[in-house]
Amino acid sequence: MPAFVPPGVIGHNRSILKKNYAVLPPDGMFPSLLPGLEGAQVFYQATPLMGARFAQGRLDVQPDGGTRGARDDGYEHFLYVLAGRLQVTAGGGMELLGPGGFAYVPAGTGFSFRNPGEVVANAVWIKRRYVPAEGFAPPGVRFGSRDATPRSTVDESGRWRQYLLGTADLGMDFEMNVMGFAPGTHFHCVETHIFEHGMVMLEGQGLQLLDRDWHEVWVGDFVWFGSFVPQQFYCTGWEGAAYLLYKDVNRDVEL
């Protein structure tokens, strides 16, 4: 018998699920195999089963894996490549996306993806029901990359952001933004708002306030924020931090 207790044997971990937020490190998460995919799996991180109004997960695609054909489930989709390469086809267009590359697929548009590389591709995959707005045309297919997206400086403290799908576009019902922090900087206030978030740490580490508790997060961690949960981020460590942030916007409340 070993003379020591193996790490994690009594359940010490950073994962936590509350009624209005969750912190989910990649360790301990299990994949789902889905019909219509081959050589690919999804580690779901947010779904309506936990109270979220959207679905988000990490997509892992083996070399030459992907969709068996065009998918059209009636939802709008967003893919953001974390590592490797994905070839995404949608709306008559096709793009080969590397790390930081992304694709937005409108509801009712068939799309497919394949890994043409020799290493596993990892991507953020978000889907949700599109909420139309009277008087505004729904968005079309969009391809882009983080490298080609302008960086907006928030203030002189060293905070910045990138609007991957734009902002204040009332045809869109959600945004995807990269939020950045220089070492030692933090969000200027404790936020409390109607918007829901799904956050993936891309770089660095930090402390994330959720309700009344602080949680240490770093690269690969996922955080779900329900509406109105108090929240604030502090950048810790020797380097800056950045995270990818889903945010539902531009729609009135339903009564």
Query: Quick one: pLDDT at residue 217?
Result: 97
Pairing of strands 241-248, 174-181: antiparallel
- Tell me the pLDDT tens digit for each residue of 215-229: 999 999 999 999 999
Q: Residue 6: pLDDT above 90?
A: no
Task: State the average pLDDT over residues 17-40.
Answer: 96
Tell me the pLDDT band of 28, cut-offs 50, 70 and 90.
Answer: confident
Domains and CATH numbers, the chain: 29-145 (2.60.120.10), 152-248 (2.60.120.10)
Q: d(Cα 167, Cα 161) in Å, to the nearest integer? A: 11
Mean pLDDT of the chain: 95
pLDDT at 242 over 90: yes
Confidence of residue 252 (pLDDT cuts 50, 70, 90): very high
pLDDT at 1: 54
pLDDT in tens, 131-172: 999 999 999 999 999 999 999 998 778 999 999 999 999 999
Confidence (pLDDT) at 37: 98
Choice between 243 and 10, residue whose per-residue pLDDT is larger: 243
pLDDT at 218: 97
pLDDT over 90, % of the chain:
91
**Cα–Cα distance, 67 to 59 (Å, whole number):** 12
pLDDT of residue 3: 64
Q: Which residues, 6+ apart, have CB-to-CB distance to 56 below 8 Å?
A: 44, 45, 46, 47, 124, 125, 126, 198, 222, 224, 246
Residue 102 and residue 145 in contact, taking contact as beta carbons nearer than 8 Å: yes
Q: Which of 6-10, 171-175, 178-182 has the lowest mean pLDDT?
A: 6-10
Q: Give buried/exposed letters for 31-51 (b at 16+ CB in 10 A, else e).
A: eeeeeebeebbbbbbbeeebb
How many CB atoms are located within 10 Å of the residue 235 CB? 23
Average pLDDT over residues 39-54: 98
Q: What angle do CA 51, 57, 111 make, to 5 degrees?
A: 115
What is the per-residue pLDDT for 12? 78
Tens digits of residue pLDDT in 95-117? 999 999 999 999 999 999 999 99
* pLDDT higher than threshold 80 for residue 94: yes
DSSP string across the chain: --SSPPTTTT---S-EE-SSEEEE-STT---B--TTEEEEEEEEEE-GGGT-SSEEEEEEEEEEEEESS-B--S-EEEEEEEES-EEEEETTEEEEE-TTEEEEE-TT--EEEE--SSS-EEEEEEEE-----TTSPPP--EEEESTTSPPEE-STTSEEEEETT-SS-TT-SEEEEEEEE-TT-B-SS-B--S--EEEEEEESEEEEEETTEEEEEETT-EEEE-TT--EEEEEESSS-EEEEEEEE-S-PPP-
Indicate whether 197 pLDDT > 90: yes
State the Cα–Cα distance between residues 218 and 204, nearest whole angstrom: 6
